[in-house]
Amino acid sequence: MSSSTSKTTAVLIDGCRIPFQKSGTNYKHLMAYDLGRMAIEGLLFRNVVSPAAIDRVIMGTVIQEVKTSNVARESALGAGIPNTVPAFTTTMACISSNQAIASGVDLIRSGQAEIILAGGTETMSDIPVRFRKKFRQKVLEARKYKAPLDFLKFLKGMNFKDFLPELPAIAEFSTGEVMGESADRMAARFGVSRHDQDEYALRSHHLAAQATNKGLLDEELIPAKLPPNYKVVQHDNGFREDTSMEKLKKLRSVFIKPHGTVTAGNASFLTDGASASFIMSEHKAKELGLTPKAYFREYNFVSQDPEEELLLGPAYAIPQLLEKMNLSLNDIDVFELHEAFAGQVLSVLTALNSDKFAKSSLNKSKKVGEIPIDKLNTLGGSLSLGHPFGATGVRLVTTAANRLIREDGTFALISACAAGGQGHAILLERYGN
């Protein structure tokens, strides 16, 4: 590869994350800023890269904290990155840090940067709860009050409900439908049964437990030291090693009652966590004496109707990516798919292996094919490890790259769905092939 080409070839140097924790547990007193800062500090600690040499810090997040609206900038400063390094935050629902990675890759490909720190952070333990609009408008109006009696105007036209707090909406703004309802309907559309979903969830939890016990996730984990006493958190706490089909069967449907198939047992849970990665030009990596883990070969983003195909993005993104790279599923050694719901993953797998879906939705004459289960999410997934919205994308890429090396593979395919009917896929090639 020529020197000029290597300057615009993006490679993954390293990726890491603090342990993902169930919301309301170990990270409940911390801000997303704190989690992002710890992830960046961990990445810097284990890589010989001068913070001042970083060209850009890009982080994904979904639930915005008004005090740190550009959480990438605040986390970077908190981690000791010089204030001369620009930082920006991306938000694209569950693929926010995927977009952070893609933005970094683009900056390198276009010759605008050589070293990118891409990551993501999210806390669901401290979501912004605000007053209702009428109350907010009154507060803004009150800034103009001058005399004490003017404040009597505040109560005019107000009723009791105007003083109640307003929680962030969990429904799609465009459709009014909760994501779990969409997952339930999609599972029914593709004939994915409750038993299938529980069985897949069981697999995810048991694989996460096995991976943790065998130390297979240690390479991507960095310990989180929690103030004020600096308690150390070393592992994820969301997977359920002792779960069983019997226990999962007892859980009731959550979204479509009483006959829905999505339960708390086969859906991802609210999670706090953060991740970070170094993306560089191949030329800069060689200059610094660093050995990359993988090449970023290609990526894409897709969008569908959020009412009918909210979580089906991977079934569109994967075929487009494979076609662009002139590859088939048989060429892929490692698959890492985001697990929002077991029914969502299984629906995507069913769609990819369906001639009917290929003809009606992909305009193809035959199905894309079957993803071998023994190559898919072998260390667990979002169902068991957790899903901090803004941080999951970097976890997926990091896990995939580490698996490629451990399993002596060539290509890894990562894909995820996101709110709004969007999706993403990215192809890695193991470095040195």
Tell me how crowded residue 112 is: count the other CB atoms within 10 A of its CB.
12
Residue 1's pLDDT band (cuts 50, 70, 90):
low
The tens digit of pLDDT for each residue in 374-384 reads 999 999 999 99
Write down the pLDDT at residue 154. 87
> What percentage of the chain exceeds 70 in pLDDT?
99
In a domain? residue 126: no
Q: Is the pLDDT of residue 218 over 60?
A: yes
Q: How far apart are CA 392 and CA 400, in angstroms?
A: 12
List all residues 6 or more positions away from 236 whose beta carbon is below 8 Å from its beta carbon: 19, 20, 21, 208, 212, 217, 221, 385, 386
Residue 395 domain flag: yes
Closest CA to 377 of 347, 414, 406, 407: 414
Q: 392 in a domain, yes or no?
A: yes
Residue 139 lies in a domain: no
Model pLDDT, residue 369: 98
Answer yes or no: is 109 within a domain.
no
155-209 residue pLDDT tens:
888 888 888 888 777 788 899 898 999 999 999 999 999 999 999 999 999 999 9
Determine, yes or no, domain membership for 290. Answer: no
Confidence category of residue 2, pLDDT binned at 50, 70, 90 = low
In percent, how much of the chain has pLDDT > 90?
Answer: 85
Q: What pLDDT is attached to residue 4?
A: 66
> Which of 170, 175, 185, 337 is closest to 259 using CA atoms?
185
Under DSSP, is residue 396 helix (H, G, I), strand (E, B) or coil? helix
Q: What is the pLDDT of residue 406?
A: 98
Q: What are the pLDDT digits (tens) for 45-65?
A: 999 999 999 999 999 999 999
Quote the domain boundaries for residue 421: 179-216+297-428
104 inside domain: no
Reply yes or no on whether the pLDDT at 84 is more than 80: yes
* Residue from 425, 346, 428, 336 nearest 382 by CA: 336
**Active site positions, annotated:** 94, 417
* Strand 165-166 relative to strand 130-131, pairing: antiparallel
Number of independent structural domains in the chain: 1
Q: Collapsing DSSP states into helix, strand and coil, what is residue 131?
A: strand
Residue among 70, 74, 52, 48 nearest 61 (CA): 70
Determine the Cα–Cα distance for residues 66 and 52; give it in Å rounded to an integer: 27
- pLDDT at residue 91 above 80? yes
- Nearest CA-CA partner of 120 in 77, 78, 58: 58
Using the predicted structure, report yes or no on whether residue 229 has a pLDDT greater than 70.
yes
Are 262 and 187 within 8 A, CB to CB?
A: yes
How sure is the predictor about 32, in pLDDT bands with cuts at 50, 70 and 90? very high
pLDDT at 292: 98
- Is the per-residue pLDDT at 210 higher than 60? yes
- Please give the pLDDT value at position 3: 60
Q: Higher pLDDT residue, 147 or 262?
A: 262
**Residue 170 in domain:** no
**Which of helix, strand or coil describes residue 374?**
helix
Indicate which CATH number applies to the domain containing 196: 3.40.47.10
CB hemisphere CA count around 263 (13 angstroms): 23
